[in-house]
Amino acid sequence: MVTDLYPLYNSLRIAAISCVIVFFTGIFAAYYAARLPRVLKGILDVILTLPMVLPPTVCGYFLLLIFGARRPVGMFLADLGLKLVMNWPGGVAAAVVVAFPLMYRTARGAFESFDENLAWSGQTLGLSNTWIFWHVRMRSCRQGILAGTVLAFARALGEYGATSMLIGYTPGRTATVSTTVYQLWRTNDEQGAFFWVMVNLAISAVVLLAVNLLERRRKNGA
Amino acid sequence: MALEVNVEKQAGSFHLHASFTCEKEFLGLLGASGSGKSMTLKCIAGIEKPDCGRIVLDGRVLFDSEQKINLPPRQRRVGYLFQNYALFPDMTARQNILCGLHAEKDRQKREKRADEIMELLQIRDVATLKPWQLSGGQAQRTALGRILVNEPELLMLDEPFAALDTHLRLKLQMELKDLLSGYDRGIIMVTHDRDEAFRMCDRIGVIDQGQMLAVKETRELFADPGSRAVASITGCKNIAYARKTGKHEVFVPEWNVYLKTEKTVRDELKAVGIRAHSFHPEEQENRFSVTIVREMEEPFEWVSEFVYEGQAPASPAVWWRYSKAFRLSEQPGALGVSTDEVLLLY
């Protein structure tokens, strides 16, 4: 019987924090990318979506290049007391990079189908752009944005490649659900591995169910 | 109250040059789709930025390319009724109207004002419905209410009836005209429908491929369009090349007829236009032998195509419309046109 639930706690913590970060950065990137000139938009689109198609280990490699203990950014963050490599916050960095494109692309799709007349009519009524953004645009696009958030959360929760490169596996410190599955399997603890596989399956099923429900509501309108 | 617009904007190969004024009146902008009508409204509202020019409303400079003034839409105090009404989809009709009252800080005053306008526009019954549950007419009135409570200094209507069924259109045009008859600010309505423009507007500006062709009092515009393009946009079916042969006479080679005109013909005459309704079997002026080549029946009118006796072989037939009240026992051998209905086009 598995008694140490630390990996679940750590995974949820990493996924939740990175999901919040990705939610805001993804939405704002999508919002501003939508109003860029075509060429610039295309270039930005490639850069922002790249982590989705790259092997996570490649993302991990780049993250180590940036946040490594002897790299400028890494040393700067270490001075601020934030150590990412071989430490759980590094898992957040890995999850953010890998989950960001999912949020960005779904939000952009939602924003692109938004009727710009609504924003314009709000402006001519004297409403502020911030108010219009939160009360009209976001409300109008909420199904797509919610779906993107759920997908990003699921991706962050299941992140393995970049995570294992950046923070490795230390029981009780950096272990996540996905790294634990691999570690337990490698050490012949089949029962333990099976337990965490089931946890993973359960979470993924719930997430997909949620996405499907959201999509159905969007199709039905209102 | 006066709006002065003189702006230019280049969009791809399309060039817009809008120049007109609007007093306290109902001004129409009439033109085909893609002629730049809506873009003109968007420039006035501040949604599109003109390349150069000036827009002044009541002495307030909204846009001036030389002084580098370009007020954002929300500071312009210009009401804009969108073609699809642009009601906020997640709010009820009443919440939508309250959006127009955001500047009023006193909640009770806000609620009271919303109730008043909904009473006036007869939309109290639908206050709690979402936009998609409203009929076209109710949605239009809700959107209008949202703009009116905002007290703009100019009201702009972008094809307000285009989204409605034909049978509803006339009814709503009457209602809107009635409702806005007491409105003491300028109104600009964009439309491609000449009947609609004629019914609603005091003056009409005709816009074609981005250029303002004429701005005239409505009746005058239809009675004397002045150019081929304006004649055609105001629905004149028969336009043919013509040359001056006398002070009150022109020759139309295509039809091979000399037409007498009431107005004095100027030397630079390019063409004449005759509206399909202008021909009459009993009219003695400008009466010539004709042969009907095709006929089509409508509920209350006949539509015919005829050729003049000596008409050039390749030239298009002439359109003639007449009410069934005048249905004749046999097809007329000759048709006349009163001299004041021969439109001189330059």
Place B184 in a pLDDT band, splitting at 50, 70 and 90.
confident
CA distance B323 to B190: 30
In chain A, whose CA is at the least distance from the CA of B143? A121
pLDDT at A2: 59
Q: Distances in Å between the alpha carbon of A87 and those of A9, A175, B121, B300?
A: 15, 10, 64, 85
Report the helix count and the strand count for chain A, using DSSP H and E: 12, 0
Judged against a pLDDT cut of 60, whether residue B277 lies above it is answered with yes
In chain B, whose CA is at the least distance from the CA of A118? B86
Place of tokens 């010539």: B288
Q: Which fold, B3-224?
A: Rossmann fold (3.40.50)
Please tell me whether residue B195 adopts helix, strand or coil conformation.
helix
Judged against a pLDDT cut of 50, whether residue A222 lies above it is answered with no
Q: Residues B195-232, buried b or exposed e (16+ Cβ, 10 A)?
A: ebbbebbebbbbbbebbbbbbbebeebbebbbbbbbbb
Place of tokens 């312009």: B76
pLDDT at B1: 60
Residue range(s) occupied by CATH 3.40.50.300 in chain B: 3-224
pLDDT at A4: 83
Tokens of B38: 């809506």
Please tell me whether residue A122 adopts helix, strand or coil conformation.
helix
- In this structure, of A12-16, A101-105, A108-112, B97-101, the range with the lowest mean pLDDT score is A108-112
CB atoms within 10 A of CB B327: 9
CA distance A143 to A141: 6
| ipTM attached to this prediction | 0.85
Which chain B residues are Cβ-neighbours of A126 within 8 angstroms? 74-75, 77, 102-103, 150
Which chain B residues are Cβ-neighbours of A139 within 8 angstroms? 88, 90
Asked if B160 is an interface residue toward chain A (Cβ–Cβ < 8 A), one would say no
Which chain A residues are Cβ-neighbours of B79 within 8 angstroms? 124
Q: What is the pTM of this model?
A: 0.84
Judged against a pLDDT cut of 70, whether residue B38 lies above it is answered with yes
Instruction: Mark yes or no for CB contact B132/A139 under 8 Å.
Output: no
Which chain A residues are Cβ-neighbours of B89 within 8 angstroms? 118, 140
The rounded percent of chain B whose pLDDT value lies above 70 is 99
Domain ranges, ordered by start, for chain A: 6-220
Tokens of A35: 């109003």
Whether residue A108 contacts residue A33, with contact meaning beta carbons closer than 8 Å, is answered with yes
Mean pLDDT value across chain B: 92
Place of tokens 């004649």: B231
Mean pLDDT value across chain A: 89
How far apart are the CA of A122 and the nearest CA of chain B, in angstroms?
8
Nearest residue, CB atoms, B82 vs list A117, A135, A140: A117
How far apart are the CA of A222 and the nearest CA of chain B, in angstroms?
8
Q: Distances in Å between the alpha carbon of A153 and those of A21, A23, A64, A177, A206?
A: 11, 9, 23, 14, 12
Judged against a pLDDT cut of 60, whether residue B344 lies above it is answered with yes
pLDDT at A218: 62
pLDDT at A215: 73
Q: What strands lie across the sheet with B211-217, from one edge to the other?
A: B69-70, B60-64, B52-57, B3-11, B14-22, B211-217, B203-208, B26-30, B186-191, B154-158, B78-81
How far apart are the CA of A172 and the nearest CA of chain B, in angstroms?
46
Please tell me whether residue B97 adopts helix, strand or coil conformation.
helix
Place A33 in a pLDDT band, splitting at 50, 70 and 90.
confident
Asked if B321 is an interface residue toward chain A (Cβ–Cβ < 8 A), one would say no
The rounded percent of chain B whose pLDDT value lies above 90 is 78
pLDDT at A126: 94
Place B329 in a pLDDT band, splitting at 50, 70 and 90.
low
**Chain A residue set in contact with B, beta carbons under 8 Å:** 115, 117-118, 120-128, 131, 135-136, 139-140, 221-222
**Which helix (H) or strand (E) covers residue B16, if one does?**
strand B14-22
pLDDT at B314: 87
Which chain A residues are Cβ-neighbours of B90 within 8 angstroms? 136, 139-140
CA distance A136 to A129: 10
Judged against a pLDDT cut of 80, whether residue A200 lies above it is answered with yes
Q: Residues B47-69, buried b or exposed e (16+ Cβ, 10 A)?
A: bbebeebbbbbeeeebbbbeeee
The architecture CATH gives domain A6-220: Orthogonal Bundle (1.10)
Reported as a single tens digit per residue, the pLDDT across B126-141 is: 999 999 999 989 999 9
Reported as a single tens digit per residue, the pLDDT across A46-77 is: 999 999 899 999 999 999 999 988 888 888 99
How far apart are the CA of B104 and the nearest CA of chain A, in angstroms?
12
Which chain B residues are Cβ-neighbours of A115 within 8 angstroms? 84, 86
CA distance B273 to B334: 19
Tokens of B128: 């709690």
